[in-house]
């Protein structure tokens, strides 16, 4: 178990090499991202994915997302990518957007109970991207025990995960301690499953019919309809008053 201070040039290079070797050897690493620190492994190594879930205290029903190092890499793991996903990816990748899509049935991986889908993200962090280009797709979840706050640094993650992780890459405190926003693009229309660093309003600017977490479309929430009714009543009252006012 080693922690590398990647804010130092020498440690950065050594840390990246050590992390790449660890991932290739089926071990766990902690890496910085543009949202929160993540614990990750080779997405195609079944044993490593199970170790990741065990380290976090999660079961197969909480499958980890997959991080990739380029937009092109999505074509290698996903099938029948919906237009909604393509539009959101064009707008927000690399960045704090995770899209749920169908994965290619030819892939030999086992992320958990996903019903043929995978949550994918391309992070906006140079260290993470550099590692991903060396390792290929990684299964990555927030670097904390299940139910605990996300780690804000590699040192924070180490205090929670300890020797379960082989390599920790420290890049300083998280700039934005909000998780990514998750959008289920398999659903029709797409639905926000978790609102994080990107707001529902930002998502709807790209895909207007996106449902919120409760399954409501734009203007469909009861409180929104009540507000619209009140506004309509107020407008009607104003019109009546105007009609009764002498010229």
Check residue 247 and give its pLDDT: 37
pLDDT tens, residue by residue, 30-47: 999 999 999 999 999 999
244 within a domain of the structure (yes/no): no
Check residue 176 and give its pLDDT: 74
Q: What percent of the chain has pLDDT over 70?
A: 91
Task: Compute the radius of gyration of the chain from its Cα atoms.
Answer: 22
Are residues 76 and 161 in contact, defined by beta-carbon separation less than 8 angstroms?
Answer: no
CA-to-CA dists, residue 181 to 121, 145, 187, 198, 219, angstroms: 10, 20, 16, 6, 21
Q: What is the rounded CA–CA span in Å between residue 51 and residue 45?
A: 10
**Is 35 annotated as a binding-site member?**
yes
Check residue 246 and give its pLDDT: 46
DSSP one-letter code for 149: P
Check residue 245 and give its pLDDT: 43
Check residue 196 and give its pLDDT: 96
**Is 204 annotated as a binding-site member?**
no
State how beta strands 66-67 and 38-42 pair.
unpaired
**Is 58 annotated as a binding-site member?**
yes
Give every residue of the chain whose pLDDT is below 50, as ranges: 245-247
Are residues 163 and 48 in contact, defined by beta-carbon separation less than 8 angstroms?
Answer: no
Cα 157 to chain centroid, rounded: 18
246 within a domain of the structure (yes/no): no
The CATH number linked to 170 is: 3.90.870.10
Nearest to 4 by CA among 150, 169, 157, 140: 169
34 within a domain of the structure (yes/no): yes
Q: Which helix (H) or strand (E) holds 192?
A: strand 191-194
92 within a domain of the structure (yes/no): no
**Is 210 annotated as a binding-site member?**
no
In total, the chain counts a number of residues equal to 247
Q: 9-24 and 126-135 are packed helices; what angle lies between their axes, rounded to 10 degrees? A: 40
Q: First-to-last CA distance in the chain?
A: 84
**Is 213 annotated as a binding-site member?**
no
How many domains are contained in the chain? 1
218 within a domain of the structure (yes/no): no
| 26: preceding bond cis by omega (within 30 degrees) | no
Please name the residues in contact with 82: beta carbons below 8 A apart, sequence gap of 6 or more. 101, 185, 186, 190
Sign for the pseudo-dihedral over CA of 43, 45, 46, 49: negative
88 within a domain of the structure (yes/no): no
Identify the domain containing residue 169 by its residue range. 2-80+108-175
**Is 194 annotated as a binding-site member?**
yes
180 within a domain of the structure (yes/no): no
26 within a domain of the structure (yes/no): yes
**Is 180 annotated as a binding-site member?**
yes
CA-to-CA dists, residue 219 to 153, 177, 184, 209, 212, angstroms: 39, 30, 20, 10, 11
């Amino acid at each position: 178990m080693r922690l590398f201070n990647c804010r130092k040039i020498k440690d950065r290079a050594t840390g990246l090499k050590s992390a790449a070797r660890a991932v290739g050897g089926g071990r766990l690493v902690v890496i910085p991202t543009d949202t929160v620190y993540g614990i990750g492994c080779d997405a195609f190594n079944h044993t490593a994915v199970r170790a990741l879930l065990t380290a976090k205290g999660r079961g197969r029903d909480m499958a980890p997302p997959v991080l990739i190092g380029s937009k092109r890499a999505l074509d290698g793991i996903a099938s029948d990518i919906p237009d909604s996903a393509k539009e959101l990816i064009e707008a927000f990748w690399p960045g704090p957007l995770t899209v749920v899509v169908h994965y290619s049935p030819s892939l030999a991986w086992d992320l958990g109970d996903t019903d043929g889908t995978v949550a994918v993200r391309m992070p906006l962090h140079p260290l993470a991207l550099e590692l991903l280009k060396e390792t290929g797709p990684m299964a990555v979840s927030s670097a904390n025990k299940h139910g605990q706050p996300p780690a804000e640094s590699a040192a924070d993650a180490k205090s929670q995960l300890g020797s379960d992780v082989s390599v920790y890459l420290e890049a300083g405190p998280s700039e934005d301690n909000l998780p990514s926003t998750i959008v289920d693009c398999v659903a029709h229309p797409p639905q926000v499953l978790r609102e994080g660093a990107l707001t529902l309003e930002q998502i709807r600017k790209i895909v207007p019919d996106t449902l919120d977490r409760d399954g409501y479309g734009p203007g469909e929430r009861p409180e929104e309809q009540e507000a619209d009714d009140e506004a309509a009543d107020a407008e009607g009252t104003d019109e009546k008053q105007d009609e009764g006012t002498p010229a």
